[in-house]
Structure 1
């Protein structure tokens, strides 16, 4: 898996770059088919915009972005959005053959309304 951090109109300290790489690697725990992660940090005056692009096997790219005042908090918000997208997609592909979620399926075959 490749992780690439790009910076526009500024520079990042090595500690922040390492933090971004370490936290981005955790996306693999949510979805094993992640092949590449691209993080773009863009400085626009006092504002910071982070964009996260995740490439997975057999799927189009996932994209999340956030704008804020601080680099770390903005990146964490973007990462949280990405985690939600990946979780929803993984749930969707795992439940694609069921009419009802497994939590709604009656296990004993007895309907409570008949009693």
Structure 2
């Protein structure tokens, strides 16, 4: 899985990049079809101090999961947007999973 980290209009600390990279590793543990994760950080104006984090996760078969979050701290924004994308990935994987492990009632009636 590749990881792309972008800080728009400022230079981000290495600790922020490593935090985002560690958070993004959980996507490949949830679903092994993850190809690429992008984290984009930006802020409005220095005096406003609202920080934005956008997380884009690309998976097999051209599926894309996206979340944007804003707060007063980049760590909070990254964590919140990662949680949103994690929910989307779990929901997508759940849709792919066949939950009918037992034989259905219709199948039993058809055999008789």
User: Normalised by the shorter chain, which TM-score bucket?
Assistant: 0.7 to 0.9
Unaligned ranges ≥5, structure 2: none
Match of 1:12 in 2: 12
Q: Map 1:1-115 onto structure 2 (within 5 A).
A: 1-45=1-45, 46-95=49-98
Question: Residue 23 of structure 1: CA displacement?
Answer: 1.1
User: Which is helix-richer, 1 or 2?
Assistant: 2
Runs of 4+ in 1 over 6 A off after TM superposition: none
Task: Say if 1:5 and 1:17, in contact at 8 Å, map to a contact too.
Answer: yes
TM-score (norm 2): 0.82
Between 1:42-51 and 1:72-81, the stretch displaced more is 42-51
Q: Structure 1 CA distance, aligned partners of 2:66 and 2:77? A: 15
RMSD: 2.0
Question: Residue 40 of structure 1: CA displacement?
Answer: 0.2
Between 1:70-79 and 1:17-26, the stretch displaced more is 17-26
Any idea what SS the aligned residue of 2:63 has?
A: coil
